[in-house]
Amino acid sequence: MASLSPQILQMKEERKKISFDVEEITNFVDGGPEESRLRREITAKIQNDPIAGDVDWFYKSGEEKFINAVKRSVRLKNMDMDIDMNSDTAMNAAFTACANSIGLPIHSGAFLPTVMNLGSPEQVEKWVPLALNFEIIGTYAQTELGHGTNLRGLETTATFLPDSQEFEIDCPKLTSMKWWPGDLGKCANHAVVMANLIINKQEYGMHPFIVQIRDLDTHQPLPGVRVGDIGRKFAFEVNDNGFLHMDHLRIPRENMLAGVAEVDSEGNYNLKSDPRLLYGGMMLIRVRLVDTQAIFPLQLACTIATRYSLMRKQGSIEPDEPEVSVLDYVAQQRKILPLIAQAYAFHFCARRTRLFYVDMMTEMRQGDFTNLPELHALTAGMKAYITEGCLEGTDICRRACGGHGYLEASGFPRIYLAQLASVTYEGENTVMYLQCARHLIKCASAASSGKTVKGFADYLNDDVKAKRSEKSQDELAHPVVLRECFRHRANRMVKYVHEKIQNLKATGKSHAEAWNLASVELVEMAKAHLDVYVISTFTKVIDEAKVSSRSRQVLFNLCSLWGLHILNRNIGSLLVDGYINAQQAEDMMEAELSCLSTVRQDALGLVDAFDFTDKTLQSCIGAYDGNVYERLYENAKRSPRNANEVHEGFYEIMKDSLRRGRDALRGMKSKL
Ligand SMILES: Cc1cc2nc3c(=O)[nH]c(=O)nc-3n(C[C@H](O)[C@H](O)[C@H](O)COP(=O)(O)OP(=O)(O)OC[C@H]3O[C@@H](n4cnc5c(N)ncnc54)[C@H](O)[C@@H]3O)c2cc1C
């Protein structure tokens, strides 16, 4: 029998040191043992299927990835899962099982939900079954060549024609053509087009229209339609992001999505329900996006970086001592361990935000919109905060894996590149932070006029000036104390920016001008507010966790580490007003270092608890058994460049000079 490699043996030894029950934490993260069972069942069914489970990414061209992803999504639709696939657990499980490589994501993730949310019951009945069965393929076309963020700047029009009972969809300029929509370039034959509604020369703003863009028999573009792929991108080869130019294209009146507003045959514009409900669909996409496009990739990255860092031996701490795992270097621990804590923290936050969303939507459907600003601020802010934090985290993990982290075989290119666009789509992040900030400034204004602020910004009810922390080093590591630090910091920052805007206005600046001048601080204070949301959620999760005392302690350590790490990186924001003193700032760093050594012991268990299969990870350096070097070598042998011993192209170009070298060397030999 072949002996196990030293790396495999080392992983086995490391697993023996884990201080807690990994399965218990896995169940806790999943939301219970039944959810874990369901996730595993779905993962196994998908990954054992020859088509859906063919997720091998290495050495595939962009075109192969695109076609494989489409095949996979069609196969998923036709697989007999015998499971309700509509729950969040099931959807996330299918997504992770496919290693974030499912075709037609905008058809399923934006076209379908938009028709469901914004269509009338008749429209839902007509279009949704067709879309669910892939009998039509749709896209969501909002962004244009000239405008994305500023919706008022969008130029595509939908003009009502009473005589023919149609709308005429038109892109009057080059800049009005739709640009970026996913699945548009080559796949979609229908689009939800966002266009400025015009009735009798009066403009009603952006409304959604279902527009057929390709012939149903031949898949050729319809007359009046120019459609195609926008060209190669950073990554995202699995998607044919496209352009769409519509030249006086006619569509039936019934194709305006009429769940919220409709145009009747006389050309009257009728509001059918509160337009604020429109926000619901957009917010849901943001709520879901952070799970699959940000937190899942960060969890993968942490798993790879931790396992690799445990297995990788490089140098020793004491001269002449045996080599150590690179994870034994404290500098390496500080790169990876706070990110593990962050992956947990963000997971709990995303879950809480989803529940909050469901509650708020129920309230809104009953006509109560009181909490809409809070929900909007939270979903916009968290979209930016989580996608940014996870993207940065993934790259830190990559760098923590040295040279091998740069190989495709590490898994990082796939994980990082798929994540890269998440900071831009579904709301560019700076713009999202500013939307969150708008709500906070309104709360600060209410607080300054003596009103009580409710909700996640309730720290604004506290008096900033009266606050000083008296805590010692041990106390400073406690999550509840850290939460107080974060609350104080956000309170001070929001009030400072509110005051700054007031002062600018007092010097004669308009509100918009003052807003622009304060926008850098507005973004920073929004981040500080979201820090409060994260630490508050994490402490709440620990308080309510029904787990063993050991698992609770493990979660507690993670929460402390996350809080200390964020505050230490922003320590000036606590020192600036004397909330803590210089000694406490040093204590805080010491507390983080001590926390690192505690979490180090359990690092492997903490990433094992994410429970990814090797097929999901697709990483030669992050697989469960730790057999890094053999996997890397096997993968290198698969490189198409290694198909022949002599690379024809290279040899053709170089052979003359190489032969001259051969002759020269032979000549030198004979002289020696
Ligand atoms: C991979 C990918 C997939 C996409 N899929 C789709 C899709 O399916 N359907 C679709 O319709 N669109 C899609 N988009 C488009 C995407 O939604 C937009 O690109 C995004 O909303 C950003 O808008 P923008 O490109 O106009 O950026 P801009 O708004 O032009 O941003 C440029 C810069 O200006 C800054 N900025 C803009 N406005 C402000 C402001 N008010 N205050 C301060 N700073 C500001 C931004 O922060 C940014 O730094 C996709 C984009 C990508 C990259």
Residue pLDDT, tens place only, 391-432: 999 999 999 999 999 999 999 999 999 899 999 999 999 999
Q: Whose CA is nearest to atom 16 of ligand 1?
A: 425
Do 120 and 220 reside in the same domain of the chain? yes
Q: Work out the pLDDT band at 2, boundaries 50, 70, 90.
A: low
3-state secondary structure 38-91: HHHHHHHHHHCCCCCCCCCCCCCCHHHHHHHHHHHHHHHHHCCCCCCCCCHHHH
Q: Work out the pLDDT band at 77, boundaries 50, 70, 90.
A: confident
Residue-level pLDDT at 86: 78
Do 254 and 283 reside in the same domain of the chain? no
User: Nearest-CA neighbor of 206 among 256, 152, 258?
Assistant: 152
Tell me the best of 111, 428, 432, 435 to mutate to test the pocket of ligand 1, counting ligand atoms within 8 Å of each CB and taking the most: 428
Q: Whose CA is nearest to atom 40 of ligand 1?
A: 431
User: Nearest-CA neighbor of 203 among 234, 145, 158?
Assistant: 158
**Ligand 1 atom having least distance to the Cα of 178:** 11
User: Nearest-CA neighbor of 635 among 621, 655, 624, 654?
Assistant: 621
Per-residue pLDDT of 214-226, as tens digits, reads 999 999 999 999 9
What is the sign, positive or negative, of the torsion defined by CA atoms of 37, 39, 41, 43?
negative
Identify the residue with better confidence: 554 or 91.
Answer: 554
Tell me the best of 104, 149, 194, 238 to mutate to test the pocket of ligand 1, counting ligand atoms within 8 Å of each CB and taking the most: 149
Give the DSSP letter of residue 18.
-
3-state secondary structure 110-151: HHHHHHHHHCCHHHHHHHHHHHHCCCCCEEEECCECCCCCCH
Last residue in a domain, options 49, 77, 103: 103
Give the DSSP letter of residue 108.
I
The Cα–Cα gap between 183 and 145 comes to: 17
Give the CATH number, domain containing residue 449. 1.20.140.10
Q: Which helix (H) or strand (E) holds 418?
A: helix 412-420
Q: 429: CA distance to ligand 1 center in Å?
A: 9
Q: 180: CA distance to ligand 1 center in Å?
A: 10
CB 622 within 8 A of CB 304: yes
Residue 559 lies in a domain: yes
Identify the residue with better confidence: 465 or 16.
Answer: 16
Q: Which residue has the tokens 């494989």?
A: 68
Per-residue pLDDT of 594-610, as tens digits, reads 999 999 999 999 999 99
Q: Whose CA is nearest to atom 26 of ligand 1?
A: 148
Across the strands, what pairs with 159?
A: 168, 198
Q: What is the mean pLDDT of the segment spanning 371-398?
A: 97
DSSP of 267-312: --EEE-S-GGGHHHHHHHHHHHHHIIIIIHHHHHHHHHHHHHHHH-
Q: 178: CA distance to ligand 1 center in Å?
A: 13
Q: What φ, ψ does residue 169 adopt, rounded to 5°?
A: -95, 130
**Ligand 1 atom having least distance to the Cα of 183:** 8
Q: 423: CA distance to ligand 1 center in Å?
A: 9
| 256, 482, 522 from 193: Cα distances, Å | 9, 47, 33
Highest mean pLDDT among 89-93, 271-275, 585-589: 585-589
Q: What is the mean pLDDT of the chain?
A: 94
Q: What is this structure's pTM? A: 0.95
**Ligand 1 atom having least distance to the Cα of 143:** 11
Tell me the best of 424, 426, 436 to mutate to test the pocket of ligand 1, counting ligand atoms within 8 Å of each CB and taking the most: 424
Per-residue pLDDT of 613-632, as tens digits, reads 999 999 999 999 999 999 99
Per-residue tokens: 619: 């990483």
Q: Which residue has the tokens 């010097």?
A: 507
Residue 616 lies in a domain: no
Q: 150: CA distance to ligand 1 center in Å?
A: 9
Give the CATH number, domain containing residue 184. 2.40.110.10
Residue 38 lies in a domain: yes
Q: Work out the pLDDT band at 651, boundaries 50, 70, 90.
A: very high
CB 43 within 8 A of CB 616: yes
Q: 365: CA distance to ligand 1 center in Å?
A: 30
Q: 425: CA distance to ligand 1 center in Å?
A: 6
The Cα–Cα gap between 360 and 354 comes to: 10
Residue 1 lies in a domain: no
CB 113 within 8 A of CB 105: no
Q: Whose CA is nearest to atom 6 of ligand 1?
A: 181
Residue-level pLDDT at 284: 86
CB 178 within 8 A of CB 156: yes
**Ligand 1 atom having least distance to the Cα of 194:** 11
**Share above pLDDT 70 across residues of the chain, in percent, rounded to a whole number:** 99
**Ligand 1 atom having least distance to the Cα of 426:** 17
Is the pLDDT at 552 greater than 80? The verdict is: yes
Do 122 and 186 reside in the same domain of the chain? yes
DSSP of 315-372: --SSTTSPP-BGGGSHHHHHHHHHHHHHHHHHHHHHHHHHHHHHHHHHHHHTT--TTH
The Cα–Cα gap between 461 and 302 comes to: 38
Do 364 and 384 reside in the same domain of the chain? yes
Is the pLDDT at 206 greater than 60? The verdict is: yes
Residue-level pLDDT at 182: 97
Do 291 and 430 reside in the same domain of the chain? yes
Do 139 and 58 reside in the same domain of the chain? no
Last residue in a domain, options 103, 134, 152: 103
Residue-level pLDDT at 83: 79
Residue-level pLDDT at 672: 64
Do 127 and 253 reside in the same domain of the chain? yes
Q: What is the mean pLDDT of the segment spanning 563-569?
A: 98
Is the pLDDT at 1 greater than 60? The verdict is: no
Length in residues, the chain: 672
Q: Work out the pLDDT band at 534, boundaries 50, 70, 90.
A: very high
Tell me which amino acid residue 412 is.
F
Q: 462: CA distance to ligand 1 center in Å?
A: 37
Residue-level pLDDT at 82: 77
Do 467 and 334 reside in the same domain of the chain? yes
Residue 630 lies in a domain: no
- Catalytic hit among 155, 237, 426, 592: 426
Do 240 and 99 reside in the same domain of the chain? no
Q: Work out the pLDDT band at 498, boundaries 50, 70, 90.
A: very high
**Ligand 1 atom having least distance to the Cα of 429:** 47
DSSP of 571-625: THHHHTTTSS-HHHHHHHHHHHHHHHHHHHHHHHHHHHTT---HHHH--SSS-TT
The Cα–Cα gap between 54 and 60 comes to: 12
Do 528 and 572 reside in the same domain of the chain? yes
CB 628 within 8 A of CB 312: yes
Per-residue pLDDT of 434-477, as tens digits, reads 999 999 999 999 999 999 999 999 999 999 875 677 788 889 89
Across the strands, what pairs with 144?
A: 178
**Ligand 1 atom having least distance to the Cα of 233:** 1
Q: 152: CA distance to ligand 1 center in Å?
A: 14
Per-residue pLDDT of 169-201, as tens digits, reads 999 999 999 999 999 999 999 999 999 999 999
Q: Is 392 a residue of the active site?
A: no
Tell me the best of 180, 230, 416 to mutate to test the pocket of ligand 1, counting ligand atoms within 8 Å of each CB and taking the most: 180
The Cα–Cα gap between 122 and 125 comes to: 5
Q: Both ends of the chain: CA-CA distance in Å?
A: 51
Q: What is the mean pLDDT of the segment spanning 218-238?
A: 95
Domain coverage including residue 545: 279-322+329-608
The Cα–Cα gap between 246 and 159 comes to: 13
Per-residue pLDDT of 281-336, as tens digits, reads 778 889 989 999 999 999 999 999 999 999 999 999 999 999 999 999 999 999 99
What is the separation of C-alpha 312 from the centre of its chain, rounded to a whole number of angstroms? Answer: 29
Residue 620 lies in a domain: no
In the three-class reduction of DSSP (H, G, I as helix; E, B as strand; rest coil), residue 174 is classed as helix
Residue 663 lies in a domain: no
Residue 180 lies in a domain: yes
Residue-level pLDDT at 170: 98
Q: Whose CA is nearest to atom 25 of ligand 1?
A: 148
Count of CB atoms situated within 10 Å of the CB of 596? 22
Is the pLDDT at 633 greater than 70? The verdict is: yes
Do 511 and 528 reside in the same domain of the chain? yes
Count of CB atoms situated within 10 Å of the CB of 661? 11
Give the DSSP letter of residue 423.
G
Do 435 and 480 reside in the same domain of the chain? yes
Q: Name the packing angle between helices 479-506 and 519-544 (round to 10°).
A: 160
Which residues have C-beta atoms less than 6 Å from ligand 1? 106, 110, 140-143, 147-149, 180-182, 236, 241, 421, 424-425, 427-428, 430-431, 434
**Ligand 1 atom having least distance to the Cα of 106:** 8
Last residue in a domain, options 580, 608, 636: 608
The Cα–Cα gap between 205 and 203 comes to: 6
Tell me the best of 106, 143, 209 to mutate to test the pocket of ligand 1, counting ligand atoms within 8 Å of each CB and taking the most: 143
Identify the residue with better confidence: 54 or 520.
Answer: 520
Residue-level pLDDT at 414: 93
The Cα–Cα gap between 191 and 156 comes to: 13
CB 609 within 8 A of CB 22: yes
Q: 245: CA distance to ligand 1 center in Å?
A: 19
| 192, 243, 283, 408, 474 from 185: Cα distances, Å | 14, 6, 26, 27, 58
Q: Whose CA is nearest to atom 1 of ligand 1?
A: 421
What is the sign, positive or negative, of the torsion defined by CA atoms of 348, 354, 355, 357?
positive
Domain count, the chain: 3
